[in-house]
Amino acid sequence: MERLLVLVRHGQSEWNLKNLFTGWKDPDLTEQGIEEAKAAGVKLKDMKLQFDMAYTSALTRAQHTLKLILGELGQEGLETVRDQALNERDYGDITGMNKDEAREKFGEEQVHIWRRSFDVPPPGGESLKMTAERVLPYYRAEILPRVMEGKRIIVAAHGNSLRSLIMELENLTPEQILKRELGTGAPVVYRLNEDGQVVSVEDLAD
């Protein structure tokens, strides 16, 4: 039985390009992001992968990325579940702020803490720990059981919602997951055993 789970961070968004804290705001992909998503689809096609079901967030950039990937795979009509449980972390009061401007306003060290600590949220927003507390119950209840049934699943989401999943899949500590960079439009391919443990992982980043 094939227990396949592929995670893909969305391609570059318009706000990524502008260096803004995006969170739950809903910009679409840039031209580069569109190309990154298509390239992700080509990589998965080259591996001869097909999927039984897809999951994505409630945000356009992740949904658009998934649509482009499925287009490359010839699976445009694939059953897809969209849920805000998979949304990016909420950056609260700093949403929409340029990261350089945030450093000027709040100080380099404070912004670094908000971005790279595990459990310190920005004002009105979510820490990575809080993001994981919303993402992981959804994964365990909705996604993992289908993988364990032998369904081949693809999840197109966001840097921090996917970090939460990777932390669980790879048994990483908070310190380790904070150092994990996820490339835009770069699929990570997991295969699981009958106990739900990862037996192989392949990062398709260039």
Give the catalytic positions in this structure.
10, 88
Element (H, E) at 153: strand 153-157
Residue 198 buriedness (CB in 10 A; 0-12 / 13-18 / 19+): middle
Q: In what order do the strands lie in the sheet with 80-82?
A: 80-82, 53-56, 153-157, 4-9, 187-192, 198-203
Residue-wise over 61-77: b if at least 16 C-beta within 10 A, else e?
bbbbbbbbbbebbebee
Centre a 10 Å sphere on the Cβ of residue 31 and count the other Cβ atoms it contains.
10
What's the rounded Cα separation, in Å, for the pair 34 and 10? 9
d(CA 15, CA 102): 15
Number of Cβ within a 10 Å radius of residue 115: 17
Q: Count of residues for the chain?
A: 206
Phi and psi at 77, nearest 5°, equal -95, 15
